[in-house]
Structure 1
Amino acid sequence: MACEMAKIDRNYAHFALFGRSPLSMEEILEVNGVDTSECKVFWHDARGDYAEFSSDARTESATRGAMKHINDFVHPQVIIMDDSKREDSFFSKAMKTKVKETGTALIEVPLGRYEEWLWMTRLDAGSLSNWHKPNIDILIHAPAGSSGSLIRLLKSLYNAEYRGLKVPRLTIALPTKIEPALQNYLGGFMWPPWRDFSEQNGLTVRHRIPSSRTSSEQASIRFVESFYPPNSKDNHVLVLSPQAEMSPLYLQYLHSSILEYYYQYWGAGNDLMGISLDVPTAFLDGKDGFKQPTLGNMSYNKHAQDADPQIPSPFLYQAISSTANLIQGEKWAAFHDFLSKRIQASHSGKTGKKDHKVVPETEPAWVEFFMELARARGWTMLHPPTSLVTIHNELAQIPEEFSRPPASDTKATEVFKQSDHPEEEPFLLSADPPVPVEHIEADPSRSFMPLHQMLPFNGELQDLASLPWLDHEGSLTSHGGRICQGQC
């Protein structure tokens, strides 16, 4: 892993040898097949004198002393060690004591997961030094009749890979009517997956009180109030649709992308509103024909000679959906403020006449409001080259605020109109009831390979400025707004 990090050449990699082994550093490198002429790592023998004969207390003291010298002369930004379950107790204790004193980030690679964690070697020291800072809250708003879909989503979240990472908090907002099967499942659902029975359940469940038909404003307010970041720089929200089924590697991808684009030394994410786990298969208005950009559409690519230009590329899209998107904390706080002012302006008449919706009525009402803010500020969403979530089509539900009876049912239509709230509907709605949009379901088999093998360039994340950029209409443009002719 150290050699892999040195090969990527984004950091200066140092390897310090501790413990009681009587073998010399050269012998240990030879046994492990390390060629120092190829592996450009700085090697340090940090063992104390007579280490093989030392007691645990003396070896622990020697480890702390060696770490003091390393901190004084090397100034490490992050320390990476093997799983503490595998390391000697004196070593783990000494390392954790020293990082508390220095404030240096300590990363433990889960036992036997070196190959699966090679994506970490692609991050720079600025990103890795903030390893423990990001916090993710998962937010799921379940419509009526979605029990089967919600249980499937919760099972995929439960079975995902979390070892070595901070497990997100989970909040589920339930509809007014809860089906018995869902209630029984939630009663035995444990979160985080490996929590001890003596620990409190990390799951938060909210159950809406029945009321009259929900308007677009009411639904948007209820959704946005479900979460607010206590620290907008480090707290983010992952919005999931009950139709989603997560890849086991979803958190690894989110964690690496957050560190790369929000915490790297040079900064890059001022206009990045979030990170999607999904690749759209339709345009923002619900029409078919969306074409994912390829590596040939990148503005520049240092791996251009080795990469196939027809391979799907990660890309930036000035659009958002409710399927599976992480929204950065500062952008969510800005949206919270925008929505309160937008609703006040709508009721005061300052917004003028109503406009037609840009987003179809198959998406929740809050998406339209968020799109107004995103287009005004030039925000974009980062999409992966391959989907890390499967969006299922069966049991798809229309949002409650947009569901209505067919025009042929005159009695139901009349009752519907009597419960209408025209003053709380800021957009012109279609005369016809919305129909769920078919989504091409992703192939789940790719989830069984390590993350760096799923991504182009062997998992090395690319500069945002080099990625293809799509406007809200799905047109490929340059970052300056110029329509691309051929390639960007």
Structure 2
Amino acid sequence: MSNFVLRKRDSPFLLSSVITSICLFVLSTVLYSARANHVSQSVPQQRRPISPPSLNPGNDTNVFQGDYTPITIGELDASSFLDFRWDTSLALVPHQSVTAILPILSGSLEKTQDLLEPFFHPLEHVCEVVIICPDAIVADVRRMLQRTFASLGSHNHPDVSLRPWQGYTESSIATLRASMDVVSGWILIMDENGLSQLSRPMRDVLLNPPNVSLPFGPRGVLRTEGTSSTIFALGQAHPARYLYPPFLMSSSLLAPLASVMHVAPDPWADLGQRISEDRPDSTGGLVIAISSESASAKNLTHQIEPLSIPDAPPLRDWDPDPSPAISSAITVSGHFIFLLPTRDDLRAIAPLICRMKSRDRTVKIRVLVYAEGYDRPTTRLNWETEFFETYRCDIEYDVLISRTMLSFTNHGSAFLSRWLAEPLAINVVLTLWELDNLVSFISSAQGRMLYPGATHIRIPRLDLSNTEWMSALSVKEWQNWHRPRIDISIITKDRPAALTRLLHSLQAARYFGDPLDLRVNVEQDCAAESLRIAGNITWPFGSVFIHHRVVHGGLLPAVVESWYPRDNDSYGLLLEDDIEVSPLYYAWLKMAILRYRYGSASNRAPNMFGISLYQQKHLELPMEGRQAFNPRALFSVLGVPHPFTPYLSAVPCSWGAIYFPEHWREFHDYLAVRLASTALAIEDDVVPAVRSNHWAKSWKKFFIELVYLRGYVMLYPNYEDFVSLSTNHLEVGSHVKVRSAEKQDLFLLPLMQLHKPQESSRLLDLPHGSLPPLAVLPILNLTGHPTSLDALVKQGLARRTELLDCVSPTDLYDARSLMCASDASLP
């Protein structure tokens, strides 16, 4: 945190202005009436012709305009309006209890003084203004603040502090993180525009706010199902799904919401969603509108046009703590927008578009090429339609026609609004990751208002030609693109060459714009070269954390303690340093996670604990010893319709795999119970007749026990010729004492490479070019024999009863109930 802090002079506070009092009275009356579900006078709704939504950033009450039945304030009876009395529960917030969060970006740096102007006056309720900015411009911001406050003389103002954030963090995430540190009771959350785009009455309400339980502000996505606005002569309030800054909220609402800190690209939607989950009315905030006219009830007109978003269907009831997932009312087809700078970008992503069109003829795809139609003799922004012929399909696209490069002020946003035409039908907007004028605007809060409810996905230009696998995603999976977050955890000790090889393969992989954090776990007695390599990692995809043990722990704690999930959208990729990954490993993981964790309810099951990168070529667990294994040959013999299908196996993979958060937490608890020997002696065999019972120092021994007792399974790839998403180089280490060429050949697999031009992606060498439904995946037990999920679960329960003499019900993901162990019996 910067030490730049400005303190206000002590002086008595001035009385609030008359207009502030009027606005506060109106707002509190509106909220009181909303709570009482009593409207003073009904106002007839009027239909008007359908027109595309528009955005007017200069009008604080023109929030989202997308519903075609506007709610209008007309003439009301003043006497009935005056019948409402001040609700004591809506008194003002306490004196000096509001902290304001104001982000300053490079684009708003020159406007710093204007953004701070509302806080230059004595304020009864605002105690501090926290200015946050990227660390790259902190010196410029500090100079601007010093210059600004040097000109104030003896003016009274709240305390002002400056806090920089790391430059790769989105400003909305940085704003929420700063809000989490606030100790005052209330927070005024702003974006880079501060309060500059609000009318004076709305500004006064936010600076002198009433004490209400929900966040409130002038902009948000409105709820429309089964609700109606509460309407008064001076304004209205409407229940919202979520709000966009600026808005005011109680800091107590942020305490349980730390998990939104890593969500992209719209944490405001997450914030509102998580607030609404704790409310029976599913409201995440209130959109308010205050007229800037006089107190007269005559001839006031103001419109809020609510945005209609379909409700999410309930998740299956086997999940006690489901991850919130965006639902789409369209389950087969969808409406996709591709905004690309050049025709070359369109050419690169054409395989994805063609595959999407061939999979579903009803899918709607619109493409705009926006950076190759300049210097054209035109008097207005417009577009021309062209066709692009490929060896797979013909693609219709539009080219922006303009005299000069498009800037996204009023004209640019109006053009996009006109081109989009049907914003409420849009499911996905895809742009490049690289920032230009359009991408910056589309990513902003104002730009997102043009496609409310849609998911914005940004793909780096380098990755466009490898996006064909995304055609296998359903609309619902596309819309949940930003939910999962994968953390990479490397375990290393004294194999610096192997560590370097692994890091190079990770750096060469395609991540499609997703952020990933990297953690390197280094053993106490590691090689100095390994520690040096870890300390010099270049990782442009997220943050890097180095964990160096000071006491030797061994491989079991090194792996088990290398990662722990922060929430149920957090996934751990565990890699020992003798692993190498495919450039497409992340695409395989993303495709599988979206299908089996965020897709339709029928494709989600609590039994699945992870996804393997490695193809099984041998069975390690039969008591007879290691056996060659070919799943394609096995499935052909069994008569599986598609022998090349991925499959489920009870064997946990340690040669490159991702583990799900609920199961990894349960494993931590299981290991604590197991090592404490309170339920079973440590030497007792849990799983009958498997070689892992003799792996005394292996974490996999204990994970296999948990898998057996629960009936858990992992997803495995099954590509031709054992082409894999990871391979094991079998380096000498804790479990490998001699590294012969013969042994290496047993475990070394060919890695899937990036496809060549005009070749299809090998990731889609799947039944019908897509990951199969969960119900049709073949299932194998620990020794490679076909089975079913029901059989695995019954087998585990029977073994639990035999070992523990315990028949009490077991809770999902609860190792203590599984082991019939009370908290008191644990160390």
TM-score norm. by structure 1 comes to 0.72
The residue aligned with 2:176 is: none
The residue aligned with 1:152 is: 501
| Residues 1:181 and 1:124: Cα distance change in structure 2 (over 3 Å) | same
SS of the equivalent of 2:648 reads strand
**% same residue:** 25
Query: Quick check: 1:439 aligned with 2:767?
Result: no
Query: Quick check: 1:337 aligned with 2:669?
Result: yes
Taking the TM superposition and a 5 Å limit, the aligned residue runs for 1:239-254 are 239-254=574-589
Among candidates 606, 614, 629, match of residue 290 of structure 1: 629
Query: 1:119–1:451: 8 Å Cα contact kept in structure 2?
Result: no
Measure the CA separation in 2 of the matches of 1:176 and 1:159.
29
- Counterpart AA for 2:727: T
Q: 1:18 Cα shift?
A: 7.0
1:395-453 Cα deviation digits (max 9, x unpaired): 332259xx9xxxxxxxxxxxxxxxxxxxxxxxxxxxxxxxx897331124745557832
The residue aligned with 1:139 is: 489
1:93-148 Cα deviation digits (max 9, x unpaired): 146445644353211333264431111111011111111121111122224x3232
Measure the CA separation in 2 of the matches of 1:313 and 1:227.
30
| Residues 1:60 and 1:364: Cα distance change in structure 2 (over 3 Å) | farther
Query: Quick check: 1:321 aligned with 2:653?
Result: yes
The residue aligned with 1:105 is: 455
Measure the CA separation in 1 of the matches of 2:370 and 2:497.
52
Measure the CA separation in 2 of the matches of 1:371 and 1:283.
14
The residue aligned with 2:537 is: 189
Taking the TM superposition and a 5 Å limit, the aligned residue runs for 1:115-264 are 115-143=465-493, 145-162=494-511, 164-192=512-540, 202-211=543-552, 220-221=556-557, 223-232=559-568, 234-264=569-599
| Residues 1:448 and 1:90: Cα distance change in structure 2 (over 3 Å) | closer
The residue aligned with 1:70 is: 422
Query: 2:583–2:752: 8 Å Cα contact kept in structure 1?
Result: no
Measure the CA separation in 2 of the matches of 1:455 and 1:14.
21
- Counterpart AA for 1:397: G
Taking the TM superposition and a 5 Å limit, the aligned residue runs for 1:408-423 are none
- Which piece of structure 1 moves more, 263-272 or 291-300? 291-300
Measure the CA separation in 2 of the matches of 1:326 and 1:363.
23
Q: 1:479 Cα shift?
A: 5.1
Among candidates 721, 728, 741, match of residue 391 of structure 1: 728
Q: 1:278 Cα shift?
A: 0.2
| Residues 1:168 and 1:52: Cα distance change in structure 2 (over 3 Å) | same
Query: 2:430–2:459: 8 Å Cα contact kept in structure 1?
Result: yes
Q: 1:244 Cα shift?
A: 0.7
Measure the CA separation in 2 of the matches of 1:379 and 1:187.
37
Q: 1:341 Cα shift?
A: 2.7
Query: 1:277–1:389: 8 Å Cα contact kept in structure 2?
Result: yes
Query: Quick check: 1:280 aligned with 2:616?
Result: yes
Query: 1:318–1:378: 8 Å Cα contact kept in structure 2?
Result: yes
Query: 2:488–2:517: 8 Å Cα contact kept in structure 1?
Result: yes
- Which piece of structure 1 moves more, 255-264 or 54-63? 54-63
1:166-206 Cα deviation digits (max 9, x unpaired): 2422222212222232233223222236x7xxxxxx22222
| Residues 1:377 and 1:9: Cα distance change in structure 2 (over 3 Å) | farther
The residue aligned with 1:376 is: 709
| Residues 1:83 and 1:322: Cα distance change in structure 2 (over 3 Å) | closer
| Residues 1:244 and 1:112: Cα distance change in structure 2 (over 3 Å) | closer
Of structures 1 and 2, the larger Rg is shown by 2
- Counterpart AA for 1:157: L
Q: 1:481 Cα shift?
A: 4.3
Measure the CA separation in 1 of the matches of 2:467 and 2:670.
39
1:50-96 Cα deviation digits (max 9, x unpaired): 86689633542224533775223x1x2221234545xx624651464
Query: 1:174–1:205: 8 Å Cα contact kept in structure 2?
Result: yes
Any gaps of 5 or more consecutive residues in structure 1? Answer: 196-201, 404-435, 483-488
The residue aligned with 1:28 is: 385
1:19-72 Cα deviation digits (max 9, x unpaired): 58589x997343x13899x87x9x89797xx86689633542224533775223
| Residues 1:104 and 1:334: Cα distance change in structure 2 (over 3 Å) | farther
By relative contact order (CA 8 Å, sep 6+), the higher-ranking structure is 1
Query: Quick check: 1:93 aligned with 2:422?
Result: no
The residue aligned with 1:359 is: 692
The residue aligned with 1:5 is: 356
Q: 1:245 Cα shift?
A: 1.0
Any gaps of 5 or more consecutive residues in structure 2? Answer: 1-351, 738-742, 793-827
Taking the TM superposition and a 5 Å limit, the aligned residue runs for 1:50-65 are 56=407, 57-65=409-417
- Counterpart AA for 1:323: W
| Residues 1:10 and 1:178: Cα distance change in structure 2 (over 3 Å) | farther
Query: 2:602–2:774: 8 Å Cα contact kept in structure 1?
Result: no
Query: 2:432–2:458: 8 Å Cα contact kept in structure 1?
Result: yes
SS of the equivalent of 2:701 reads helix
- Counterpart AA for 1:5: M
Q: 1:263 Cα shift?
A: 0.9
1:352-374 Cα deviation digits (max 9, x unpaired): 86227642767962211111111
SS of the equivalent of 2:761 reads helix
Query: 1:63–1:94: 8 Å Cα contact kept in structure 2?
Result: no
Among candidates 754, 761, 786, match of residue 452 of structure 1: 761
Measure the CA separation in 1 of the matches of 2:360 and 2:697.
44
Measure the CA separation in 2 of the matches of 1:260 and 1:12.
19
Query: 1:46–1:63: 8 Å Cα contact kept in structure 2?
Result: no
Measure the CA separation in 2 of the matches of 1:380 and 1:371.
10
Measure the CA separation in 1 of the matches of 2:489 and 2:500.
15
Measure the CA separation in 1 of the matches of 2:433 and 2:681.
57
Query: 1:261–1:269: 8 Å Cα contact kept in structure 2?
Result: yes
Q: 1:468 Cα shift?
A: 2.3
Q: 1:336 Cα shift?
A: 2.0
- Which piece of structure 1 moves more, 324-333 or 464-473? 464-473
Query: 2:572–2:659: 8 Å Cα contact kept in structure 1?
Result: yes
- Which piece of structure 1 moves more, 363-372 or 380-389? 363-372
Calculate the aligned-residue CA RMSD, in Å.
3.9
- Counterpart AA for 2:664: W
Query: 2:650–2:782: 8 Å Cα contact kept in structure 1?
Result: yes
- Counterpart AA for 1:226: S
Measure the CA separation in 1 of the matches of 2:696 and 2:507.
26
Measure the CA separation in 1 of the matches of 2:781 and 2:683.
25
- Counterpart AA for 2:590: H
TM-score norm. by structure 2 comes to 0.44
SS of the equivalent of 1:182 reads helix
